[in-house]
Amino acid sequence: MPQLNYSNRPYFDHGALEHISEVLGNLNISKPLICTDPGLLDIGMVDLIRNNISNQYTPVIFDQTPANPTEEAVEIALAKYKSEGCDGVVGFGGGSSIDLGKAVALMANHEGSVVDYSVNEGGLMKITETVPMIAIPTTSGTGSEVSAGSVIVMRDGRKLILASSHLVPNAAICDPDLTVGLPPVLTAGAGMDALTHCVEAVLSPAIDPPAEAVGLDGIERVIRGNNLIKAVEDGSNKEARWNMMMASTEGALAFSKGLGAVHSMSHALGADQHLRLHHGTLNGVILPTILRFNHGHVGDKYSRIARAMGIAESTDLPDFIEGLNQTIGLPKNLSEMGVTEDMIPGLAEHSMTDPSNATTPRLPSQDEWEKLFAEAMN
């Protein structure tokens, strides 16, 4: 079984879930809290992970992860962790379940509230070693299984980032077979999440050639290999699923170099608990707007991205991404997702404080943030 030689050395291949008991044993976890969501429970995926765990372990299930994990959900899961006497966490699902699992693993041995550990509240240096955690993604988008971050919607409505090397899961199991049943709309949204991670990482002005190279490889897998379109059109295509999961993992490894304004905007929109918008779909819809805004501020990087995609360097990248979105069935704009003009001032204000701005190639002013949201609505 191949293992990637990064900080948590993920098991990565078809059938990798069979290693779950081995990984639990390696981390001395006997009673894991498995953080997952109602959808995976309904389709029998939770039974699948249970059936792969040997009888010497006693898993406890928390299956109420919301579409965008909240501070309240973290507290409910944490209470279950403590009342059941758990000794480790498994995040099983999309990025939301894994991010929630990271927050539970953090708060299991840290005092205070989740918000105290957010980047916005100066939490970066407060985070120390967490309880053991395993990440098992069932989508190919966030790459949260190898990232040092977790995004949580706080009680006050802000969608904030927790970030620390201590939040990188102790182990990851990346089994592309777990994504085979993912419906086309979620495959598309998750895939655009992975692509946006790779693109924003490459465009970040931070100097990190290895991370940039990883991001370009991820872009190549998604576009040149046509794997996103293949996975959307035929979910049973195992080669496409493998490549999309690899691109997802690569996206998170690459964004150690930083993200940008796409994520600042999608975090603001994702904080709305009434619309409950999918993060990856938001990234895909917003990406063309930010590519136009950044034009002329990123050196030759658009040409390098085009080469990785296998398209002419003269190609208009925003137009290309809009065409891709149409092909895979994503909404044309934010208006189609329920965003209205009266929301723009609040969204702009939220975006201005997002930590992703630290590595965006061109930092918008408040007026420019509002114009960007307006453009993304049309």
* 142 half-sphere exposure, CB direction, 13 A CA radius: 26
Tell me: pLDDT of 4 over 70. Answer: no
For 365, residues 6+ apart whose C-beta sits below 8 A from its C-beta are none
Return the pLDDT at 6: 58
Place of tokens 């039974």: 47
Which of these, 147, 162, 178, lies nearest to 6 by C-alpha position? 147
CATH no. for 11-178? 3.40.50.1970
First to last CA, the chain: 47
Return the pLDDT at 44: 93
**pLDDT, tens digit (0-9, with 9 covering 90-100), for 110-135:** 999 999 999 989 998 999 999 999 99
Tell me: pLDDT of 290 over 70. Answer: yes
Hey, what are 215's tokens?
A: 């991001």
Q: Give percent of the chain above pLDDT 90.
A: 94
Tell me: pLDDT of 24 over 60. Answer: yes
Tell me: pLDDT of 5 over 70. Answer: no
Query: Within 10 Å of residue 40's Cβ, how many Cβ atoms?
Result: 22
Q: Indicate the pLDDT class of residue 365, thresholds 50, 70 and 90.
A: very high
Contact 197, 145 (CB under 8 A): no
Tell me: pLDDT of 36 over 90. Answer: yes
From the centroid of its chain, how far is CA 76?
A: 22
Tell me: pLDDT of 7 over 90. Answer: no
Average of per-residue pLDDT across 178-197: 96
Average of per-residue pLDDT across 264-269: 96
CA–CA separation, 78 and 80 (whole Å): 5
CA–CA separation, 96 and 89 (whole Å): 14
Return the pLDDT at 236: 97
Q: Indicate the pLDDT class of residue 300, thresholds 50, 70 and 90.
A: very high
Contact 202, 301 (CB under 8 A): yes
Tell me: pLDDT of 2 over 80. Answer: no
Return the pLDDT at 273: 82
Q: Indicate the pLDDT class of residue 371, thresholds 50, 70 and 90.
A: very high
- Angle (CA) 59-166-23 rounded to 5° is 35
Helices 71-83 and 95-107, axial angle in degrees (round to 10): 60
Q: Which sequence spans correspond to the domains of the chain?
A: 11-178, 182-376
Return the pLDDT at 9: 79
Q: Indicate the pLDDT class of residue 215, thresholds 50, 70 and 90.
A: very high
Return the pLDDT at 8: 74
Q: Indicate the pLDDT class of residue 304, thresholds 50, 70 and 90.
A: very high
CATH superfamily for 182-376 is Dehydroquinate synthase-like - alpha domain (1.20.1090.10)
Order of strands, edge to edge, in the sheet holding 171-174? 11-12, 171-174, 133-137, 88-93, 32-35, 60-62
Return the pLDDT at 186: 95
Return the pLDDT at 165: 92
Return the pLDDT at 142: 93
Hey, what are 176's tokens?
A: 């592309």
Average of per-residue pLDDT across 77-96: 97
Tell me: pLDDT of 151 over 60. Answer: yes
Return the pLDDT at 183: 94
Mean of the per-residue pLDDT values for the chain?
95
Average of per-residue pLDDT across 340-362: 97
Return the pLDDT at 316: 97
